[in-house]
Amino acid sequence: MGVVQYVLFRFLIVKFDLKTPGREEETLNSNVSAAPSGNEFEQMAAIIYDGLGGDQNVTSVDNCVTRLRMEVKDMDAVDQAKIKSTGVPGINIVGPNSIQVIVGTKVQFVADEIKRMRKNQ
């Protein structure tokens, strides 16, 4: 039974180009501006923070082992394509005002840069 399901689903996904997780269209945003510094985490943090709507939209920033956890005022102001342009593996929307950006094990460096940017604003 499992073999039949696999073959059927694989055929349907390929035939109709169904967008399953990991098969989304990647959009290259050519007008994404990076931070002036050469620090890769600073650049990544700047793009993610801008994609979240910046100071006008982000209310809190926290992180766990692999994810940035943010609270935002307006989820419609979040530009997921811009955030994904940094190469992050994924984005989870966990509530009407909560979003998680999956960065990986180097999330602490990105979180520190975002927190530093928030203090300087």
Residue 18's pLDDT is 84
Judged by DSSP in three states, 53 sits in: coil
Q: What is the dihedral of CA 100, 106, 109, 113, to 10 degrees?
A: -40
The pLDDT, as a whole number, for residue 21 is: 73
Q: How much is the pLDDT for 28?
A: 53
Q: Give how many domains the chain has, as a whole number.
A: 1
Range of the domain at 100: 35-120
Q: For residue 69, tell me if it sits in a domain.
A: yes
Is 65 contained in some domain?
A: yes
Q: In this structure, how many other beta carbons lie within 10 angstroms of the beta carbon of residue 29?
A: 13
Please, what are the averages of pLDDT over each run of 10 residues along the chain (121 residues)? 92 87 62 54 94 94 95 94 93 94 94 91 70
pLDDT at 115: 93
Residue 21 lies in a domain: no
Residue in 64, 93, 94, 102 annotated catalytic: 64
Task: List strands edge to edge, sheet with 67-72.
Answer: 58-63, 67-72, 98-102, 90-93
Q: What is the pTM of this model?
A: 0.70
Name residues whose C-beta falls within 8 Å of residue 12's C-beta, 6 or more positions apart in sequence. 18
Q: Does residue 20 fall inside a structural domain?
A: no
64 a catalytic residue? yes
> Does the CA dihedral 89-43-46-27 come out positive or negative?
negative
CATH number of the CATH domain containing 51:
3.30.1360.60
Position 93 in a domain: yes
Q: How many CB atoms are located within 10 Å of the residue 85 CB?
A: 18
Does residue 4 lie within any of the structural domains? no
Tell me, yes or no, whether 27 lies in a domain. no
